[in-house]
């Protein structure tokens, strides 16, 4: 046999489960021509499960897979592994548990993580089963102490089981939100988990006339408990700060979105755009920044994969002034003095005519725009602009009618239309004064 034509084809399985054919020959010139890195060394015993060796003495002898060596050439190209031998690619990412996975942001994030090649497995936790088929479901109340047992083998927990419904009983809502977070922050370290991701809101920074534009993630949390659910969110923030001291080694990341839009989100701030007129308080300085749920889920995924550390603020780039919002929405304003607007809002809420306390109004008066610098430095970018999110919000609320935070039924909406767009607002704001006069009259009797 002519040594020049005597070659050994070494078939090696690479890390991505493809075969690489390398040529070995006693002729150093052949080796140098085909393998500049000099791959003449033979496979070791440890490599036998990753290599197949074929010897050939001429250009017509078959190569692995039934192919033939062309005359005057040696095979060293990448070729896919035969389908029968192809093994599933192992996923080395984290196992992630998502609470509140059956609805809202939790459902969207569960679907996103279940479809990600960087996530090994998703454990979906809720009181009911959701629609995601790619997740492993655990049905239980997030406040159940049995949660720790359901988290065995999990690497990261994303806690999204929060009740911020305007119509919920405030005491029951707080009990669920605070107790649920306490349980998660206790169960996670008990199950050997070292990373928990919580989601609150940029509202925790507070809406104040002296706020910087934009606020950094490390800005002081100056909100008060006067707005819907903000007291619960501030308590969750306190629990997040305390947990690493109580459980050394536990990493807690808090994600704070701007005005959240999409996925059926219903808040006092989204209902603001259901009104026949946009209530503007005289001498206020509104600045509107939105956050689409898709961008929030992308930010949560960054936190899950540890691509960014620290507390995170999430929102569209920049903000919109009130005049821009009115121009884009086509909804005109109704401007009221501060004392009138705040006083009427407080009275209407106190007598049960509206679900929104007066504190919600502050978030339409003063800026609370966030920079999102940590996510930006990590490479995250929002896919949505403020203008686009506002457009989607207006589509979502089309056909709904809300006055002073109270959503009107068809009959109420018809009356509002007959009375004129601004007339309904003025009528409802005046209800508090009528009720007050009626109470005074009863006391005289």
Q: What is the pLDDT along the chain (445 residues), one digit of tens a residue?
A: 444 444 455 555 555 555 455 555 555 554 454 444 433 444 444 444 444 444 444 444 444 444 444 444 444 444 444 544 445 555 679 999 999 999 999 999 999 999 999 999 999 999 999 999 999 999 999 999 999 999 999 999 999 999 999 889 999 999 999 999 999 999 999 999 999 999 999 999 999 999 999 999 999 999 999 898 999 999 999 999 999 999 999 999 999 999 999 988 999 999 999 988 999 999 999 999 999 999 999 999 999 999 999 999 999 999 999 999 999 999 999 999 999 988 888 888 888 878 888 889 999 999 999 999 999 999 999 999 999 999 999 999 887 766 555 555 544 444 333 333 344 444 444 444 444 454 555 555 5
Instruction: Report the C-alpha gap between 306 and 323 in whole angstroms.
Output: 39
Instruction: Report the C-alpha gap between 139 and 203 in whole angstroms.
Output: 31
Q: Is 7 helix (H, G, I), strand (E, B) or coil?
A: strand
pTM for the full model? Answer: 0.74
pLDDT of residue 95: 98
Distances (CA, A) of 338 to 233, 278, 424: 26, 15, 19
pLDDT of residue 400: 73
Q: Which one-letter DSSP state was computed for residue 35?
A: -
pLDDT of residue 112: 98
First to last CA, the chain: 124
pLDDT of residue 442: 53
320: β partners: 288
Instruction: Report the C-alpha gap between 208 and 223 in whole angstroms.
Output: 9
Buried b (16+ CB within 10 A) or exposed e, 329-348: eebeebebeeeebbbbbbbb
407: β partners: 402
pLDDT of residue 299: 98
- The answer to whether 419 touches 427, Cβ cutoff 8 Å, is yes
How many H helices and E strands in the chain? 13, 19
In degrees and rounded to multiples of 5, residue 119 shows phi and psi of: -110, 125
pLDDT of residue 276: 87
pLDDT of residue 399: 76
pLDDT of residue 345: 86
Q: Is 196 helix (H, G, I), strand (E, B) or coil?
A: strand
- The answer to whether 9 touches 54, Cβ cutoff 8 Å, is yes
Instruction: Report the C-alpha gap between 288 and 285 in whole angstroms.
Output: 10
> E strands, 295-439, where?
312-314, 320-321, 333-336, 402-403, 406-407
- DSSP assignment of 72-130 equals T-----EEEPPGGGPPPPPP-S-EEEEESTTSHHHHHHHHHHHT-TT-SEEEEEESS--
**Tokens 């006069």 map to which residue?**
437
């Amino acid at each position: 046999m002519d040594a020049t034509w005597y070659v050994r084809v070494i078939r090696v399985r690479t890390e991505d489960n493809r075969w690489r054919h390398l040529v070995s020959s006693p002729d150093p010139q052949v080796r140098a021509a085909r393998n500049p890195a000099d791959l003449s060394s033979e496979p070791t015993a440890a490599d036998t499960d990753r290599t197949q060796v074929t010897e050939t003495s001429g250009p017509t002898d078959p190569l692995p897979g039934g192919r033939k060596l062309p005359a005057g050439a040696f095979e060293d190209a990448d070729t896919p592994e035969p389908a029968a031998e192809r093994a599933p690619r192992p996923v080395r990412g984290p196992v992630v548990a998502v609470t509140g996975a059956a609805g809202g942001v939790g459902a969207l994030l569960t679907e996103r993580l279940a479809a990600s090649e960087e996530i090994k497995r998703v454990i979906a936790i809720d009181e009911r089963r959701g629609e995601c088929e790619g997740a492993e479901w655990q049905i239980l109340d997030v406040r159940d102490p049995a949660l720790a047992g359901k988290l065995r083998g999990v690497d990261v927990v994303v806690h999204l089981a929060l009740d911020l419904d305007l119509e919920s009983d405030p005491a029951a809502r707080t009990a669920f939100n605070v107790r649920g977070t306490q349980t998660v922050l206790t169960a996670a370290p008990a199950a050997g988990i070292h990373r928990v991701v919580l989601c609150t809101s940029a509202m925790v920074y507070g809406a104040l006339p002296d706020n910087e534009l934009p606020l950094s993630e490390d800005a002081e949390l100056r909100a008060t408990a006067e707005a819907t659910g903000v007291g619960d969110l501030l308590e969750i923030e306190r629990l997040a700060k305390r947990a690493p001291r109580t459980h050394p080694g536990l990493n807690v990341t808090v994600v704070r979105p701007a005005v959240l839009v999409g996925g059926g989100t219903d808040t006092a701030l989204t209902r603001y755009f259901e009104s026949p007129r946009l209530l503007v308080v005289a001498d206020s300085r509104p600045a509107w920044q939105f956050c689409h749920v898709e961008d929030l889920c992308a930010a949560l995924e960054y936190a899950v994969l540890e691509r960014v550390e620290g507390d995170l603020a999430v929102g569209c780039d920049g903000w919109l002034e009130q005049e821009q919002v009115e121009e884009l929405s086509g909804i005109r304003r109704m401007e009221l003095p501060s004392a009138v607007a705040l006083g009427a809002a407080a009275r209407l809420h106190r007598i049960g005519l509206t679900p929104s306390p007066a504190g919600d109004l502050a978030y339409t008066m003063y800026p609370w725009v966030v920079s999102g610098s940590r996510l930006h430095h990590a490479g995250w970018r929002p896919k949505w602009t403020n203008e686009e999110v506002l457009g989607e919000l207006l589509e979502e609320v089309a056909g709904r009618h809300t006055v002073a935070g109270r959503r009107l039924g068809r009959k109420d909406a018809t009356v509002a239309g007959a009375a004129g767009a601004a007339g309904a607002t003025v009528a409802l704001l005046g209800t508090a004064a009528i009720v007050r006069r009626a109470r005074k009259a009863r006391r005289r009797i």
